[in-house]
């Protein structure tokens, strides 16, 4: 599976539709995927939401694409 397809499956959005983040987002965020050839990360930043069953999830506004 290609990077774009993995990101879509894990976040519900394609990488090109995500906000651009910084290195600090990778250091402090939840890493969703990493593309080794381009050293690109997809992360969720901030604290996750927790539903009534205790499942954690992030709003799409928390998703970032980071190029290192």
Which pairing describes strands 63-67 and 49-50: parallel, antiparallel, or unpaired? unpaired
- What pLDDT is attached to residue 5? 95
Decide if 34 contacts 41 (C-beta within 8 A): yes
The pTM score is 0.86
pLDDT digits (tens, 9 = 90+) for 7-61: 999 999 999 999 999 999 999 999 999 999 999 999 999 999 999 999 998 988 9
- What pLDDT is attached to residue 31? 95
Provide CB contacts within 8 A for 31, sequence distance 6+: 41, 42, 43
Measured CA to CA, the distance from residue 13 to residue 60 in angstroms comes to 8
Under the banding of pLDDT at 50, 70 and 90, the label for residue 1 is: confident
């Amino acid at each position: 599976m290609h990077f774009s397809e993995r990101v879509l499956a894990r976040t519900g959005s394609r990488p090109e539709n995500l906000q651009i983040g910084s290195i600090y987002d990778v250091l402090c965020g939840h890493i969703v995927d990493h593309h080794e050839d381009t050293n690109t990360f997809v992360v969720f930043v901030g604290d996750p939401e927790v539903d009534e069953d205790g499942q954690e999830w992030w709003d799409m506004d928390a998703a970032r694409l980071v190029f290192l």
